Amino acid sequence: MRLNKRITASIQFLLSVIAMSCWVLSAQAQSTSAAPLSRAVSLKDVFDTAWSRQPEARALQLRRDAAQSQAKAAGLLSPEPPSLEVSQRSDRTADNNGVRQAEVGIAVPIWLPGQRSASLDLAQAEISFVERKLLASQLRLASSVREAWWNWLRARVDAELAREQLTNAQRLAADVAKRTNAGDLAKSDQHQAEGVAAAAEALAAQADAASASAFAQVASLTGVSFEANLSIHGVAEHPPIPAQSLEHPLLAELENRIAVAERTASLISTQTRTSPELTVATTRDRGAFGERYVQTVLVGVRLPFGGGPRYEARIATAQAEAVEVQSILMLEKDRLQSDQRAAAFRAESARVQLDAAQRRARLAKESRSFFDKSFRLGETDLPTRLRIEAEAVEAERQEARSQIDLAAAISAWRQSLGLLPQ
């Protein structure tokens, strides 16, 4: 599609710019044991580290084991474990001359018609649900990670540009001071230049504070303690392609919830009564003292009566769950489709804005160079020079912001399609 081609071209340019831009942070040799991340990190690194800290990741294997155990149980010969029955009867507490009887038996529950296959279907549905729930949990976490990541990079860009602006303002103030001492400029010009430098210093401090605050959100997800230990690589994600948009994890989770509810109702429909029991027992007894012991074998079946309303209530509950989740699924499909269309539009809009910002930045840079030379030659006054400098700084900031906004828009597009950070 035309959108993908155009965005791909922009991203290729974006990556080349990013490699030389101010997004690269200073990396230090020291590290901390409290931080799972160190040195250069990407969005995927942050996501992987954040996921490893989530309770869902730690409990995944246990959930899988539980679901697989249910599947194994459905494959057994009996729905419940057999029970052993042992009894003895005598008159030993009286005269020890009467009846003696000892009985040993085992009771084995029997599958009701259709119960075994329904139990196996439910177990398989629950296994699938565990996997789909895992992917959905990862996607929800990815949304938080992406938001924190791009907010941090925006703040880092602002901080880097603010420091660059401070450096330029201080250099200009020093030049104005020299020319004022030489009598080429008025004292008011020096005051104005120094005021601009002071304002730039305050802005840089404010930007550093905002960057630290944005990094705190990343730290809360990853456990990273020191921003200075990290440098950034692989900032941008690739635009999605149609082949990647196969199955949305959030929809798959809901579909499997429906399957679990429906198969639960199906299983309950086979459990209209407690499972029958096959009983096999042997008895050894005598009628009176001196008589020979007699060995007998007993085979019997226990058939419970139906549960009536008890089972009907369970079926109704499971069916209501399926109907409710089905309604949620329909609403979620509509929401995701709207989000996907909006995300694609925002990505295209961000690409257009980046093109415009790049043209503006190029023109502002040329104007800055021209007016800087003109000011040094005394052909341009200080207010004009300061205005041109402010316009150039704002153009640079907008270009850098637009680059991040495009990368963030593509990331949000991938999020709407159910794709994890890569």
Distances (CA, A) of 124 to 64, 79, 266, 268, 270: 11, 16, 14, 16, 17
Radius of gyration of the chain (CA): 37
Q: How many CA atoms lie within 13 A of 18 on its CB side?
A: 24
Residue 315 inside a domain? The answer is: yes
Q: Is the pTM of this model over 0.75?
A: no
Give residue 33's pLDDT.
Answer: 33
Residue 25 lies inside a defined structural domain of this protein: yes
Residue 282 lies in a domain: no
At residue 360 the predicted structure's pLDDT band, cuts being 50, 70 and 90, is very high
Chain segment 225-273, per-residue pLDDT in tens: 666 556 676 667 888 876 555 689 999 999 999 999 988 888 888 877 7
103 assigned to some structural domain: no
* Residue 248: CB atoms within 10 Å: 22
pLDDT at 289: 66
- Output the domain CATH number for residue 175: 1.20.1600.10
Q: Does pLDDT of 1 surpass 70?
A: no
Residue 140, domain member (yes or no): yes
Q: What is the mean pLDDT of the segment spanning 381-405?
A: 89
The pLDDT score that the predictor gives to residue 348 is 93
CA nearest to 298, candidates 276, 323, 273, 277: 277
Residue 404 lies in a domain: yes
| Residue 388 domain flag | yes
Does a structural domain hold residue 68? yes
Burial status of residue 110 (CB atoms within 10 A of its CB: 0-12, 13-18, 19 or more): middle
Provide the pLDDT confidence category of residue 24 given band limits of 50, 70 and 90.
very low
How many distinct structural domains can be found in the chain? 1
| pLDDT average, residue stretch 296-311 | 76
Give pLDDT tens digits for 34-80: 345 556 788 998 999 999 888 887 787 788 888 888 888 887 888 88
pLDDT, tens digit, 9 for 90 and up, residues 308-352: 677 778 888 888 988 999 999 999 999 999 999 999 999 999 999
Residue by residue, DSSP assigns 146-215 as: HHHHHHHHHHHHHHHHHHHHHHHHHHHHHHHHHHHHTTSS-HHHHHHHHHHHHHHHHHHHHHHHHHHHHH
Q: Which of 353, 365, 352 is nearest to 393 (CA)?
A: 365
Q: Which residues form the domain of 48?
A: 2-75+111-272+307-416
Percent of the chain with pLDDT over 70: 83
DSSP class of residue 304 equals P
**Torsional sign, CA 179, 185, 190, 196:** negative
SS3 call for 347: helix
